[in-house]
Structure 1
């Protein structure tokens, strides 16, 4: 899971995505931001658009899954987003996953003239209904929607993605509204960068929300995103933690961090808490050796 707004060109992302595929990881995921989210980093050479990037990678990879964690509802109208994602799914042969959220970074909206309403949860709920509704409308039929924020009339609901349905990722640490939306629309629920002790309770809220609408909670994938720094020894780990801008102590307490054996133990504990998929947030996109190390020294022990 990459954060290109911190500084990455398309060629940088292509190198990481192709290394991800070659090394046997399941997916290459990117954030969807237009401004650096760290004031200490200039973000050069500047932002790359998430779905433009994924469209390119769809043609330059063959097996790795591709998606966002997560796209903001403020960036794209839902009808256009449905077209973009369906097209990238076609271009990739059915390897796309859509993460969708409310957005949070006001300053990037101000920098690029994007409206940032104070209340955005209603936008998210309607976008989920529209995007999934457009994709699921049978060929030859039309789709209509009348909501508070969006209205669609007599839409041909085209194009269709290859996958039916496209996996939809909904995430967050909210106590009630987010679990309810995940239960209704998501194929995966993601907890982003939460303390370890909050993982099981966060998943339990979604399971309860599924039961409330008589959906089998096991239909969802339960995932966790963690900042990652792993090394063959303490010195190498410390160097990678510094590249993240964190101390080794902070990393061990909050991330997927340390030596290979420490990371294997942490993943085992997370599995016991119900984690089924892990997103490794990689900050240094030039450090392909770290991906190679994880693939060689961590993954075979799982």
Structure 2
């Protein structure tokens, strides 16, 4: 089973001066212990469900550009970009730039957005959920068109582009993987089935089997390959460093369901140290677990 790390807490002792060296050390450690992903949140403000809106938060893609310069193997992306944060043509250009400058290590993580306060605070429109899902689907279609040979217009309900020119092209072919965040059964997982190369399930172990079955049914309906989608889940309730044995039991259950990749928050105040502890205590045993074959 593969694993990755999520850098979501910039409340580092000595910030703001300490943020860059701690971020660098954590990304380097993640690569050294065999991580397959290094991700950041894409928010204007820190999440109130985690800390407060007044805690530090960096812009996601600038942060990933910095990380690209200090790593060489690990995949880079946001988990996930809200569709409302950037015009989709600009977002596709940004993701392409990250792919080129990381030499083919970017993925596009995207979702429908939810954090109303940051939108209202900075004057960014925050339409109703139904509209945000419509915007999400159009944004994915725009990215796919910009990553194709079609430089022509895009005409949608929410976005209209006169030309979808995108040069240079991304290094990865046919394009950087698309990872759609969330586990909504009617809309989100249907879009994963139709467009994505990865999903990011935030669900308890006991819920994962049902979510994957829903995804499989959507794949069958739209005629896509369920097996080609990377199945990823966010860590879980058990701290893998504090209780490796309990965590690995959960990981074995997830692998038996077909989960291929688990993703963990790098824990502050010493996220690089936490990642190295993970490498020393968990990584080898985790990578020995084989996800179930279809």
1:73 matches 2:110: no
| Match 2:217 to one of 208, 217, 222 | 208
- Judged with a 3 Å threshold, the aligned counterparts in structure 2 of structure 1 residues 208 and 160 are, in CA distance, closer, same or farther, namely same
CA distance, structure 2, for counterparts of residue 34 and residue 226 of structure 1: 23
- Judged with a 3 Å threshold, the aligned counterparts in structure 2 of structure 1 residues 142 and 39 are, in CA distance, closer, same or farther, namely closer
The DSSP-based 3-state class of the residue aligned with 2:95 is helix
The aligned runs of 1:17-36 (5 Å cut-off) are 17-36=27-46
1:129 matches 2:138: no
The aligned runs of 1:110-125 (5 Å cut-off) are 110-118=120-128, 119-125=131-137
1:54 matches 2:64: yes
The aligned counterpart of 1:236 is: none
The aligned counterpart of 1:260 is: 244
The aligned counterpart of 2:193 is: 183
CA distance, structure 1, for counterparts of residue 50 and residue 89 of structure 2: 36
> Per-residue deviation at 1:258?
4.2
The DSSP-based 3-state class of the residue aligned with 2:97 is helix
> Per-residue deviation at 1:256?
5.0
List alignment gaps of at least 5 residues for structure 2: 1-5, 289-294
Q: 2:193–2:218: 8 Å Cα contact kept in structure 1?
A: yes
CA distance, structure 1, for counterparts of residue 220 and residue 233 of structure 2: 21
The DSSP-based 3-state class of the residue aligned with 2:108 is strand
> Per-residue deviation at 1:4?
3.6
CA distance, structure 2, for counterparts of residue 286 and residue 120 of structure 1: 36
The aligned runs of 1:102-117 (5 Å cut-off) are 102-117=112-127
CA distance, structure 2, for counterparts of residue 222 and residue 40 of structure 1: 25
Q: Tell me which moved more, 98-107 or 58-67.
A: 58-67
Alignment RMSD (CA, Å) = 2.0
TM-score of the superposed pair, with normalisation by structure 1: 0.84
- Judged with a 3 Å threshold, the aligned counterparts in structure 2 of structure 1 residues 88 and 296 are, in CA distance, closer, same or farther, namely same
CA distance, structure 2, for counterparts of residue 71 and residue 287 of structure 1: 22
1:279 matches 2:263: yes
The aligned runs of 1:124-203 (5 Å cut-off) are 124-136=136-148, 138=149, 141-164=150-173, 165-192=175-202, 194-203=203-212
TM-score of the superposed pair, with normalisation by structure 2: 0.86
The DSSP-based 3-state class of the residue aligned with 2:185 is coil
CA distance, structure 1, for counterparts of residue 210 and residue 158 of structure 2: 32
Q: 1:32–1:49: 8 Å Cα contact kept in structure 2?
A: yes
Structure with more relative contact order (C-alpha pairs < 8 Å, separation 6 or more): 2
The DSSP-based 3-state class of the residue aligned with 1:155 is coil
The DSSP-based 3-state class of the residue aligned with 1:31 is strand
Q: Deviations over 1:100-156 (max 9, x none)?
A: 0011010111222211111310110000000111112x2xx5232101100112332
| Match 2:233 to one of 224, 228, 243 | 224
CA distance, structure 1, for counterparts of residue 87 and residue 219 of structure 2: 28
The DSSP-based 3-state class of the residue aligned with 1:176 is coil
1:93 matches 2:98: no
Q: 1:74–1:102: 8 Å Cα contact kept in structure 2?
A: yes
Q: 1:125–1:181: 8 Å Cα contact kept in structure 2?
A: yes
List alignment gaps of at least 5 residues for structure 1: 228-250
| Match 1:289 to one of 254, 258, 273 | 273
